[in-house]
Structure 1
């Protein structure tokens, strides 16, 4: 441990003043909304969580339980959230956004994404990567232990040159090794990636790459099926990145982006043998709508179709 000198303290305070001004947290309404930054963070925790309780949110944000209660009562009066009594503890309620809450939150989430994109837009690819790496390093050094460490052990980013080739290669290698899937599975992956690379609409389609220690460890694509339906493709978490919650985070990013982009439904195609992925989809609120046995890629499989209404 080392006592920081006054110059370092002043530098950090200067950065804090710069960044709070940069993202507009000092304004009366965050993102020009009727809500403060604290209220928006509470909404975000409900949006991204799996039915969190008030206590869960208070712990996640390190906020006073009384303040959380007041914010939640305000949201409830506005019809933004609903409560469901916990089956395990009647004193606790699980919180979810109502349809009105999702409609309110989606444009604000989109506006936040646009704001950050605008901050980075004047930087080239290498400079953007440096900014993200520097922020991740600050989080790692100043963050807390436990769950936060898992979140800081990796970053999500847009694809860069070489990533699409990695997605195809790693899918082919891992699925052959773990499930015995052979040709034409690699060709299918290559076609999905090629279609996205050649004609994706950035406003309604995205790819996320999970990176850890400077190398890719996960991927997911969200593509347009129709004006109202988006499709998740090519969810993958490399063994080097498993156990950190990367799969859940990737799916959550897809769902959040789909809501902000105005889709009404997210659909996906998977297989019964992919138990970890199925569990992630189920926890995210997807419902198994149909299944059928097939013989493909050299194996007997059960194809499954899952849907989520937004």
Structure 2
């Protein structure tokens, strides 16, 4: 005899609502202006998306944030009137336009973004390293359980570099590129040198590493390093084979772009090889353009090296 699924208990409902009240109070969501600003939570969320993603239409923005079309339209018109956003026609499509932040919009968003980082840091600083890890893992569990559009196995989190990551990244990239492209051990040595140099000279105000992790397993990573006051360099992008198809590679590149813009870089550059088709497709989709290419013999193979730039 089959039974209908049992609904939540009154105690579970009460606990859920209690946590919601606690969390909204904890991060100030009930304040008239988020982060002591003139902007609402929704307005800051829209600014965040525009600061960290490229090639967005209003339709895509509304869909991804679950916002009513009319409400979003009014919000964007307000931003446009204040000079915070601009609309860019899509060539060959008169019905859609891209929405992007202006320089004024970025100057408005950047202090909000820094204030949000500082707010979260102040909360996490009160916890021990172990407690912080338990907290972010619990948040990942909440996200997996409540997001109906993301299978639980596809959920991941991005974190900063930790002890043990450099060796792991060098090992995995060396092994994967040997398996997939036949590159020799000199590539693994190069990865280790780049990652070690990043750690030795790390400037937290201008550089960052993102590690994609799911339930303690590293799925991919990318580094952004300072090349000059105006130029940042994207390095060592990789995604584990079983994690491909999640949009992780594009997400890591978008994080680099958003960070570079927020820090005031004018150009984001990278070096790759023409055989890396999937990575090149991501770069091109994000607006990078090929600057030059040159034949070289490295990692035991004859290759075509390519330099790509993105104007920020």
TM class by shorter chain equals over 0.9
CA pair 89-290 structure 1, distance change in 2 beyond 3 A: closer
CA pair 35-136 structure 1, distance change in 2 beyond 3 A: same
Q: Please report how far the alpha carbon of residue 151 of structure 1 lies from its aligned counterpart in structure 2 after TM superposition.
A: 9.7
- Asked if structure 2 preserves the Cα contact closer than 8 Å seen for 1:110 and 1:261, the reply is no
CA distance in 1, matches of 2:88, 2:224: 30
Q: How does 1:94-105 map to 2 (within 5 A)?
A: 94-105=98-109
- Asked if structure 2 preserves the Cα contact closer than 8 Å seen for 1:212 and 1:241, the reply is no
Q: What corresponds to 2:148 in structure 1?
A: 144
For 1:295, what is the secondary structure of its paired residue? strand
For 2:86, what is the secondary structure of its paired residue? strand
CA pair 111-280 structure 1, distance change in 2 beyond 3 A: farther
- Asked if structure 2 preserves the Cα contact closer than 8 Å seen for 1:139 and 1:152, the reply is no
TM-score (norm. length: structure 1): 0.93
Q: Please report how far the alpha carbon of residue 125 of structure 1 lies from its aligned counterpart in structure 2 after TM superposition.
A: 2.7
String of CA shifts for 1:200-245, please: whole Å, max 9, x gaps: 1222211111112321110111111122222111111011211101
Aligned pair 1:93/2:93, yes or no? no
Among candidates 72, 82, 86, match of residue 68 of structure 1: 72
CA pair 108-300 structure 1, distance change in 2 beyond 3 A: same
CA distance in 1, matches of 2:268, 2:173: 22
CA distance in 2, matches of 1:112, 1:284: 26
Q: How does 1:183-262 map to 2 (within 5 A)?
A: 183-262=185-264
- What RMSD in Å do the two structures reach over aligned CA positions? 1.9
For 2:30, what is the secondary structure of its paired residue? coil
Aligned pair 1:5/2:30, yes or no? no
Among candidates 277, 289, 292, match of residue 291 of structure 2: 289
Q: What corresponds to 2:47 in structure 1?
A: 43
CA pair 63-18 structure 1, distance change in 2 beyond 3 A: same
Which stretch has the larger CA shift, 271-280 or 47-56? 47-56
List structure 1 segments (4+ residues) > 6 angstroms apart after TM superposition. none
- Asked if structure 1 preserves the Cα contact closer than 8 Å seen for 2:85 and 2:105, the reply is yes
CA distance in 2, matches of 1:2, 1:176: 52
Which blocks of at least 5 consecutive residues in structure 2 are unaligned? none
CA distance in 1, matches of 2:235, 2:179: 20
Which blocks of at least 5 consecutive residues in structure 1 are unaligned? none
- Asked if structure 2 preserves the Cα contact closer than 8 Å seen for 1:107 and 1:260, the reply is no
TM-score (norm. length: structure 2): 0.92
